[in-house]
Amino acid sequence: MNKGIIFVVGGAKSGKSTFTIKKSSKIPGKKAYIATAEALDEEMRQRIENHKRQRGDEWITYEEPLKIANLIEEKKDSYAVLLVDCLTLWLSNVIHADLSIETETEHLISSLITPHSSLMYIVSNEVGMGIVPDNKLSRRFRDMAGILNQKVAQAADEVYFMVSGIPLKVKG
């Protein structure tokens, strides 16, 4: 039985993570945070530490830059809430690792829609509302992020679009 999939999408610093943490805090039980970011430099290490502090002690953090579908499958019945943050960083990691975006995306969608007892929050950036990127790799990333977001939104029970810290419910 699915507890539900809530997809939260928006621009950088639009309030996606804050919104999901706040909504999740009202749900009793164990909570898991699947972080896709890697601390490849000091600035990113600081960002990760700040995010951990904001979440607080009620969250168990799993750092997984690539195999999030496997981790979801492993943990989806062990937590009341499972939060994945964020898909665009994950997509960048998949591209950098030269893995098949299509295969990894299908595995992710399959892991989300397979019956589970966790309420799942999935966070992603909306990157397609700006200018057309000036190079092939950036255009490919933008296009793949758009396709990924569409597939996750289709699988989700609820979808929120974050604008300036304000959630706009667009599905469910």
Average pLDDT, rounded, for the chain:
94
C-alpha 156/C-alpha 172 separation (Å) is: 9
More confidently predicted of 38 and 101: 101
- Count of structural domains within the chain: 1
| Confidence check: pLDDT of 2 > 60 | no
Q: Whole-model pTM?
A: 0.94
Lowest mean pLDDT among 21-25, 50-54, 59-63, 125-129: 50-54
Q: Please enumerate in sequence order all residues whose Cβ is within 8 A of that of 41, keeping only pairs 6 or more positions apart, or say none.
A: none
107 counts as catalytic: no
Which residue range is the domain that position 86 belongs to? 5-171
Q: Which of 51, 96, 107, 116 is catalytic?
A: 51
- Identity at 64, one-letter amino acid code: E
CATH of the domain at 117: 3.40.50.300
What tokens appear for 119 in the block?
């309420």
Q: Please enumerate in sequence order all residues whose Cβ is within 8 A of that of 74, keeping only pairs 6 or more positions apart, or say none.
A: none
Q: What is the pLDDT of residues 146-170, one digit of tens each?
A: 999 999 999 999 999 999 999 999 9
Q: Which residues share a beta bridge with 160? A: 8, 169
Q: What is the pLDDT of residues 41-71, one digit of tens each?
A: 999 889 888 888 888 889 999 999 999 999 9
CA 164 vs CA 35, 48, 161, 171: distances in Å: 23, 21, 10, 19
Residue with tokens 């974050």: 162
pLDDT score at 1: 45
**SS3 state of residue 126:** coil
Q: What is the pLDDT of residues 71-85, one digit of tens each?
A: 999 999 999 999 999
